Amino acid sequence: MKAVPLPATVERRLDELGEVDLLVGIPSFNNAQTIGHVVRAAAAGFAKYFPQRRTVIVNSDGGSTQTDIGEFVWHPSHNHWHFEGFAEYGLWTRAEYDAWLASGRKNGAARKRGVKTTFCIIDTRRVLALPGSPTSPRYTACGQTAQGMAIGWGDEYNSSLPDQWIDLGNARLADGAYVLRSVTDPDNRIIESPGKADASRESAIANEAVTFFTVTGNQIRVTG
């Protein structure tokens, strides 16, 4: 196991405490939902069996930090908790999209946009067997305290779920070629690299998906 130094704040606190009789270190990783129970059990054991001893419990999670990035909101149509602003959808004509790309993504905009969509973020399908990827889903509940996607896993929504659409109004799409572009984390609130410095992970380009399709009469055909 790779050795990870304690954060400076923890080391300073230990120095302030000085000499102790019993010191217990509890290593953890992605255990935010369960580590509290472990710490409470250890504290209860100290109180029961070593009531006269000076004791300290240290939970070491590799020196991670906490950053507030948003809120969970209740989604009445889906009947569970969602993370706000997780995805955004834009509809382009193919010609306007190609012109936007040719301008270096500077000139042009989607013809229609959906509202920023909330998501329950869980592991629904293993996409890639990457190093560190679990063989079974790690995040499975649409709770209010912890949601996420494990390494190599994805969250796949069926098209039948409500509120993940672009409102076209009363007019149908004219015949032609179109592009549907979706961007995950459009406001870049989720930290995906140290210091959010890696554009290959943080940028809209890194988090976009594009579907090309054509409309002919009442028929839609996905072309790429």
Per-residue pLDDT tens digits for 8-58: 777 787 788 888 899 888 887 766 667 778 888 888 888 889 988 888 888
Residue 191 lies in a domain: yes
User: How many independent structural domains does the chain possess?
Assistant: 2
Q: Do 179 and 78 have their domain in common?
A: yes
Q: Do residues 86 and 170 both lie within one domain?
A: yes
48 belongs to a structural domain:
yes
- Whether residues 112 and 209 fall in one domain: yes
Q: Which stretches of the chain drop beneath a pLDDT of 50?
A: 1
Closest of 153, 223, 217, 185 to residue 85, by C-alpha: 185
DSSP per-residue letters across 135-173: SS-S-----SS-----TTEE-PPPTTSTT-S---TTPPP
Cβ-contact 139, 148 below 8 angstroms: yes
Q: Let me know: does 120 contact 80? Beta carbons within 8 Å.
A: yes
Residue 100 lies inside a defined structural domain of this protein = yes
- Which residue range forms the structural domain that includes residue 15? 8-60
- For 143-158, write each residue's pLDDT tens digit: 888 888 999 999 988 8
**Residue 18 and residue 114 in one domain:** no
**Do residue 88 and residue 27 come from a single domain?**
no
